[in-house]
Homo-oligomer: A and B are copies of this chain.
Amino acid sequence: MTEAETPRVAADVAVFAFRDGAMNVLLVRRRYEPYESYWALPGGLLAPDETLEEAAERELREETNVTDTYMEQLATFSELDRDPRGRVISCCYLALVDGGRVRLRPGSDAREAAWRPLEPLLRDTEKRTVLAFDHDRILAYARQRLAYKLEYQNVAWSLLPETFTLSELRRVYEAGIGRAFEPNNFRRIALGWGVLAESGERPTGGRPAAIYRFADRRPLILAQSARYRRSA
């Protein structure tokens, strides 16, 4: 394989956060060609002295100022024509963060960094190319993984502040999975996971419901959730 044929390797990140009642994805506006001024997932080329996960964390920090997320590998995309400059293999990560915690600051190759509501963006990408490269497709794939993880794995804590009400938790689920849950059913399911604990905080005027926290943040399988889906 000659130098021209050796693919370059990149890491890209789909970061989700629950903000203003909706699931949002973090995008950056590209400063340079190709796709100059298009919005894209944060990411960039792997440096010689870092792993792919380190590259994903570094690019996210440099381009958006976001750090300390829940992060896991999503998939590696290797279609031949995904970058007009030549072959680039992209290892993509899924990251989840409490949207109230982060302060965006665009940097390096990014002209802007912004949260975008996920649902309208996905609807747009079904009609036309919206994001740079194959990021429309990667975003759709990441959203599937997000829904799957919420439904079957103990990961919702990463999208929430330390304490929350069951209604707030339910709204995260509705936004992440893309369908409504009947509140009493959801309450029964969520408490059946065995990972929530009452926080001990006393509800205040504007927050009359009981306040919970995740007592267990291990990546357990949430059997109750799976069972609910079956019978739904």
Cβ of A133 within 8 Å of any chain B Cβ, yes or no, is no
**For residue A52, which residues in chain B have a CB less than 8 angstroms away from its CB?**
76, 78, 89
**For residue A197, which residues in chain B have a CB less than 8 angstroms away from its CB?**
none
Q: Could you tell me the distance in whole angstroms from the C-beta of A195 to the nearest C-beta in chain B?
A: 13
Tell me the dominant secondary structure on chain A's binding face: mixed
**For residue A75, which residues in chain B have a CB less than 8 angstroms away from its CB?**
73
A138 to B163 alpha-carbon distance, docked (Å): 38
Q: Could you tell me the distance in whole angstroms from the C-beta of A77 to the nearest C-beta in chain B?
A: 9
Q: Could you tell me the distance in whole angstroms from the C-beta of A193 to the nearest C-beta in chain B?
A: 10
Cβ of A191 within 8 Å of any chain B Cβ, yes or no, is no
Pick the contact of A221 from B50, B80, B91, B226 — CB < 8 Å? B226
**For residue A46, which residues in chain B have a CB less than 8 angstroms away from its CB?**
7, 78, 89
Q: Could you tell me the distance in whole angstroms from the C-beta of A168 to the nearest C-beta in chain B?
A: 26
A53 to B47 alpha-carbon distance, docked (Å): 24
**For residue A89, which residues in chain B have a CB less than 8 angstroms away from its CB?**
9, 46, 52, 89, 91
Cβ of A45 within 8 Å of any chain B Cβ, yes or no, is yes
The answer to whether B79 and A51 touch across the interface, beta carbons within 8 angstroms, is yes
A46 to B226 alpha-carbon distance, docked (Å): 38
Cβ of A85 within 8 Å of any chain B Cβ, yes or no, is no
A165 to B53 alpha-carbon distance, docked (Å): 44
**For residue A223, which residues in chain B have a CB less than 8 angstroms away from its CB?**
223, 226-227, 229-230
Cβ of A204 within 8 Å of any chain B Cβ, yes or no, is no
Contacts A75-B73, A223-B227 given; does A49 touch B3 at CB 8 Å:
no
A18 to B3 alpha-carbon distance, docked (Å): 42
Residues of A within 8 A of B (CB): 1, 3, 5-9, 45-53, 73, 75-76, 78-80, 87, 89, 91, 152, 221, 223-224, 226-227, 229-230
| Extra contacts besides A52-B78, A73-B76, A91-B91 (13): CB < 8 Å | A1-B8, A5-B48, A6-B6, A7-B48, A48-B87, A51-B78, A52-B89, A89-B91, A152-B152, A152-B226, A221-B229, A223-B227, A224-B230
